[in-house]
Chains A and B, each alone.
Chain A
Amino acid sequence: MKRLTRRNLMRGVTASAAMLPFLEAFEARAQADDYPLRLLIVFSPNGTIYDRWRPSGSETDFQLSEILAPLEPFKQKLIVLDEVDNESAHHGPGDGHMTGMGTYLTATELLDGDQFKCGGTDPCSGWGGGISIDQLIANDLQMRQAPAERTRFKSLELAVQAGGADIWSRMSYAGADQPIAPMEDPYQVYDRLFADLNVDSDTLQRRLMMRRSVLDYVGGSLSRLSGRLGGEDRDKLEAHLTAVRDIELQLSAAQSNCSQPDLAQGIDFRANDSFPQVVQVQSDLLVRALACNLTQVATLQWSRSVGGTRMTWANVPEGHHDLSHNGDSDQDSQDKITRVNTWYAEQFAYLLQQLDSVQEGNGTLLDHTIVLWGNELGKGNSHTRRKIPFVMAGGGKGYFPTGRFLSYGGESHTKLLVSLAQAFGVQTDEFGNPAYGTGPLPRLTG
């Protein structure tokens, strides 16, 4: 078992400096002021220990908490959002974990349904009830961009040990009842992102031509068949067709000049003890994808709602979810949950470090990105979806002034998602179910 120490972390940071040369070609083409704005949404599960998470002090003069201490180097690039509630998770079917997860990025109640047992005021619940904010922004960007401006991938979804496909493991949705599966296998991510690099142009042309021909045939088959079906059957085939068309667009998108990164071989990406390594590798791949402009919109999901990761490397042998249920006066459990969340903060710091190490003009990739880190719960043992531990970073080219600690006294996270949409130029005051808030989160833009 490889123990992830701060020293190892720093070694990873140093290694990333090697990324810089391959970016030069890309940078040379880009004008200093037209680096794209990127979105990166991160998730970790099972709530936090609020008193050990909340910073102290005022908006601009604050001290990070025990849990957020690893973010100290990036304090001036952070916005810590205190007392933002996930109001939408308090409505509709599903229990705390289910609603917290399914509404994190949709701000819409879960669907009624019988897919998932033991949820809701009725016996079961269905999938999430609407499009997620990352997908809304990705769609909107694609719609507004000329084909030549589009990134190769409309969005990328990566996860680390998200587990089975269910309401607890999905946070991105193409629409109601359309969960998006994240990529958990770093080797698959690598192939998907970088397989076309370093291939000679004849081979590449042949590959593209073969794929286009087949996808064209498949698209025709899907269209014809969906015309003979109705209701959800047709919806399903149309979703399939959309995915086929997206792949076709990817094939047409300009090939990146990036070189592929090195990737350690033989990682068992499903093994509990590989978790730290996979977290790091997926972060590296994602940062590379953003740096190479393969996408503007990405999500990164650590574990899953109700995830039972055993962080032996943080000296926590118990499963995270079991632990999160223990009572407030159980000091040992409180300490361990703190260590789990602090460990996640270290991983978030690593991610920020990687983003910040990519120079883009006068700023860094981090400066040109809006990073949001959230959770499906506020607190694990009560399963509350209030006081969600939200941290933002990067600020998105100054759109959200950073170096701030903002306290909201129970504002709805729906507004936070509206703020994200507006930051990306989506013309809207509403997102999800507007019953749980409209307009942007006050004061976020300064």
Chain B
Amino acid sequence: MRSMRWVTLSLLLATGCSGKIDGTLGAPGAGPGDGSGFVIDPETGELVPASELAGDGDDNGPGAGDPSAGDRDGEGGDGDPAADGAVDACETLDVGITPLRRLTREEYDNTVADLLGTAQQPARAFSPDEKLLGFAAGLSVTPLLVDQYMTASEELAAEAVTDMPALLGCDPAALDAAGQESCVHDFIDRFAARAYRRPLETEERDGLRALFATGRDGFDFATGIELVLRGVLQSPQFLYRVELGQQTGTPGLVQLTAHELATRLSYFLWQTMPDADLIAAAEAGELDTPEGIEARARMMVQDARAERAVDGFHAQWLELELLETAGKDPAVYPDFDDALRHSMAQELLRFTREVVFEGDGNLEALLTDSHGYVDQHLASVYGLDAADFGDEQVRTELDPAQRAGVITSPAVMTIHAKSNQSSPVHRGKFVRERLLCQPLSPPPNDLVIVPPDPAPDASTRERFREHSEDPSCAGCHRLTDPIGFGFESYDGIGRFREMDGDFPVDASGEVFASRDADGPFDGAVELATRLAASQEVADCMASQWFVYALGRSMTNTLDACSRQQVIVAFDASGHDIRELMVALTATDAFRYRRMPTDDEGGAP
């Protein structure tokens, strides 16, 4: 029985199991993917990470045509970037092309709450944010979203004008016409400056005053104010994080203004608009140097609002939204219901949040700490007595031989499983993509794949054996399945198990084609320990935080300096997540912007 038939083996070898990495990947305005990818080594015929083949590297490799990046190591497998010359990559100031971002749904709701004190969360009804490498980046706008912006602004404005004195800071009913006008003009200046996150330009001020007059003259005073609110809330200056910057010596490269930096800091670290204190700091020049930004960022990550950034990152890194739609066959998993689903998601975010803010705060702890947060729903998943737990999730030490950090969490195990069984392929793919940053590519376009017919009386592992025995399948599946087999101790909803049906679980696995995590292992706990010690995983984490912070991926060449700054700082901190967040804000990539141009196709 052949599980998979490729058209010819030579076709596989010709295309590889993935793309060749040529160093110029990516859409206009974005650099190559953060992952390595694989190529066939022409000498051995083996599948190897692209970064191991000289001169053809991705962002992990000494970049072809990028001599400065070539001086930094840390990519070939054993290098320590901290030991290399930090100066080289930063000799020339440059950063990757940085597209205009709009507020994400999360950012929109937080922002209108801060701006108007509303409890409405209109963005929950917006169409979903498009993802960049798994992270909502606010990069596109659709006609439906524009319609939703309009509707949301109308509902927000209608609510805001119900208490006019509170909104305006004056009582228009108690004022004569001149007094009203002056009150409204003050309000426009104050409100729109907060909404646009910078002082108003004359043209903007005039436009809003005219809008007020239109509403007042056509109907009444309150209508005038409603129009102003709607106008501000639908303006591009509010909806987008506009960064025009200040010219530098390099054409197309701008340095962010103090207000723009405050906005970047605030949306990255707090997921909302800057507050008055942050704006004041920006206006006082405190963000004019990398040291100043770093000091401010360090303060900001102590603020409770930073939990939003940490939650948002982990939810998206670990693809938690997939849990919302993960369906389980009730005949196989009768305990899986919405309450359990909700508890799983809540637990995972609580775990990551508390590791970052209360615990060791580092990547190793995220990957290896063996405690969980258990409530009555999760108890049975952990083999505990539900009667001992209530609705509140209680920090509980779990068996360290069974649990290790996020990758063995019930949430992650449930997401990466089928509706009625585990899934070594999906779990291996998850580790490959989200921890090693190695995207897997699909089979060639016209390949006809005939999937295996499962032998009904075999263990899960046995049923996937075909993948490794058929040489045409093995090329790709050796990247995923042997990692995924290590998770066979967890069933489709993350319960630890010693038996897979009638068969004892064999959770031995092996990592191939990584920079520094290769080798056999027994069980996911050992795998987690291995990954926690891997420089490749640490670099992957840093590059995903980069995507999250900046809404774009790092480019091979232009971001070489920023990349180095982040990795050096992350390593030096013992892989402290908060320090990684701070380090990102002090990079050139955070402080500068390369504007998209009409002719960016040829950009490096």
A interface, CB within 8 angstroms of B = 90-91, 94-96, 99, 111-124, 126-127, 157, 163-166, 174, 177-185, 188, 191-192, 206, 209-211, 213-215, 217-218, 220-222, 224-225, 228-233, 236-237, 239-240, 242-244, 246-247, 270, 272, 308, 310, 317-319, 322, 325-330, 381-384
Contact indicator A310/B327 (Cβ below 8 Å): yes
Closest 6 CB pairs of A and B: A95-B442, A113-B27, A231-B596, A243-B146, A181-B127, A327-B453
Q: Are A178 and B140 in contact (CB under 8 A)?
A: yes
From A114, A123, A272, B21 is in contact (CB under 8 Å) with A123
CB < 8 Å neighbour of B433 from A117, A122, A188: A117
Contacts of A116 in B (CB 8 A): 131
A224 close to B150 (CB less than 8 A)? no
Residues of A within 8 A of B15 (CB): 121
With A114-B32, A166-B130 given, is the CB distance from A229 to B100 under 8 Å?
A: yes
A157 / chain B contacts, CB cutoff of 8 Å? 144
A115 & B131 in contact (Cβ 8 Å cutoff): yes
Which residue of the partner chain, among A126, A127, A214, A225, contacts B211 with CB atoms under 8 Å?
A214
Interface contact A118-B433, CB-CB below 8 Å: yes
| Chain A residues whose CB sits within 8 angstroms of the CB of B218 once the complex forms | 209, 213
Distance in Å: Cβ of A316 to nearest Cβ of chain B = 10
Q: Is the CB of A91 within 8 A of B445?
A: yes
Which among A211, A322, A330 is the interface contact of B453 at CB below 8 angstroms?
A330
Of the candidates A126, A209, A218, the one whose C-beta lies within 8 Å of that of B234 is A218
Once bound together, how far apart are the Cα atoms of A239 and B450, in whole Å? 43
Complex CA distance for A237 and B239, rounded to whole angstroms: 11
Band of interface residues on B: 35 or more
Q: Check A218–B127 contact: CB distance below 8 A.
A: no
Which B residue sits closest to A318, measured CB to CB? B419
Q: Are A243 and B147 in contact (CB under 8 A)?
A: yes
Within B136-163, the residues touching A (CB, 8 Å) are: 139-148, 150-151, 153
- A116 CA to B208 CA, complexed, in Å: 40
A383 (CB) vs chain B CBs: closest residue: B449
**Residue contact B144 to A180, C-beta cutoff 8 Å:** yes
Q: Could you say which residues of chain B place their CB within 8 Å of the CB of A243?
A: 141-143, 145-147
CB distance B237 to A225 under 8 Å?
A: yes
Asked if B19 and A165 make an inter-chain contact with CB atoms under 8 angstroms apart, the answer reads: no
Instruction: Determine whether the beta carbon of A381 is less than 8 Å from that of B449.
Output: yes
Which B-chain residue is minimally distant from A228 (CB atoms)?
B244
Main DSSP-derived SS at the A contact region: mixed
Residue pairs across A and B with Cβ atoms less than 8 A apart, 22 shown, are A95-B443, A115-B130, A115-B133, A116-B131, A117-B134, A120-B441, A121-B441, A165-B127, A179-B140, A181-B128, A209-B218, A214-B211, A215-B150, A231-B596, A232-B596, A236-B99, A243-B143, A247-B150, A317-B419, A327-B450, A327-B453, A328-B450
B18 interface residue (CB < 8 Å to A): yes
Q: In the complex, A119→B33 CA distance in Å? A: 11
Residues of chain A contacted by B599 (CB below 8 angstroms): 231
- Which residues of chain B are near A236, meaning CB under 8 Å? 99-100, 139-141
**Bound-state Cα–Cα, A308 to B321, Å:** 14
Q: Known contacts A113-B26, A214-B227; is A308 also within 8 Å of B325 by CB?
A: yes
Interface, chain B (partner A; CB < 8 A): 15, 18-22, 25-33, 35, 37, 99-100, 125, 127-134, 139-148, 150-151, 153, 203-204, 207-208, 210-211, 214-215, 218-219, 223, 226-227, 230-231, 234-237, 240, 242, 244, 321, 324-327, 329-331, 418-420, 429, 433, 439-446, 448-454, 553, 595-600
Q: Are B226 and A210 in contact (CB under 8 A)?
A: yes
Q: In the bound complex, do residue A213 and residue B227 qualify as a contact, i.e. CB atoms below 8 Å apart? A: yes
Given A228-B244, A243-B146, A112 and B27 contact (CB-CB distance below 8 Å): yes
Q: A115-B130, A123-B19, A328-B453 are in contact. List 20 more A-B contacts (CB 8 A).
A: A112-B27, A115-B27, A122-B19, A122-B441, A123-B25, A123-B32, A123-B37, A124-B439, A164-B321, A165-B128, A166-B130, A178-B140, A180-B143, A181-B144, A188-B148, A213-B215, A233-B99, A240-B146, A325-B451, A381-B451
Instruction: With both chains docked as a complex, state the minimum distance between the C-beta of A125 and any C-beta of chain B, in angstroms.
Output: 9
CB pair B448 A329 closer than 8 Å:
no
Contacts of A127 in B (CB 8 A): 140
Q: Whole-angstrom distance between the alpha carbons of A221 and B448 in the complex?
A: 52
Roughly how many angstroms separate A272 CA and B327 CA in the complex, as a whole number? 8
Q: What chain A residues lie within 8 Å of B445 (beta carbons)? A: 90-91, 99
Contact among B215, B226, B595 with A231 in the assembled complex (CB-CB below 8 Å): B595
B25 touches A114 (CB 8 A): yes
Q: Are B28 and A192 in contact (CB under 8 A)?
A: no
A165 near B143 with CB under 8 A, answer no
Q: Determine if A240 and B453 form an interchain contact, defined as CB atoms under 8 angstroms apart.
A: no
Complex CA–CA separation, A236 to B453 (angstroms): 47
Q: Which residue of A lies closest to B127 (CB)?
A: A181
C-alpha gap A78/B125 in the complex (Å): 37
In the assembled complex, which residues on chain A have CB atoms less than 8 Å from the CB atom of B147?
A: 192, 243, 247
Contacts of B420 in A (CB 8 A): 317-318
Q: Which of the residues A179, A191, A210, A383 comes within 8 Å of B223, measured between beta carbons? A: A210
Smallest distance from the beta carbon of A202 to chain B beta carbons, Å? 11
Contacts of B418 in A (CB 8 A): 318-319, 322
The reply to whether B27 and A231 form a contact with Cβ atoms under 8 Å apart is no
Contacts A181-B145, A243-B141, A317-B330 given: A384-B227 contact, CB under 8 Å?
no
Q: Is the CB of A210 within 8 A of B215?
A: yes
Say whether A218 contacts B142, CB under 8 Å: no
Residues of B within 8 A of A330 (CB): 453-454
Question: How far, in whole Å, are A249 and B449 apart by their CA atoms in the complex?
Answer: 49
Closest to A195 in B: B151
Q: A117-B33, A120-B442, A383-B449 are in contact. Are A126 and B597 (CB under 8 A)?
A: no
Q: Are A217 and B211 in contact (CB under 8 A)?
A: yes
Q: In the complex, A53 Cα to B210 Cα: how many Å?
A: 62
- Chain B residues lying within 8 Å of A318, measured Cβ to Cβ, are 329, 418-420
Q: Please tell me if the beta carbons of B146 and A230 are within 8 angstroms of each other in the complex.
A: no
Separation of A178 and B140 alpha carbons in the complex (Å): 8
Q: Which of B128, B203, B207 makes the CB contact (< 8 A) with A164?
A: B128
The reply to whether A118 and B204 contact each other, CB–CB distance below 8 Å, is: no
Given contacts A90-B446, A322-B419, A330-B454, contact A124 B130 (CB under 8 A): no
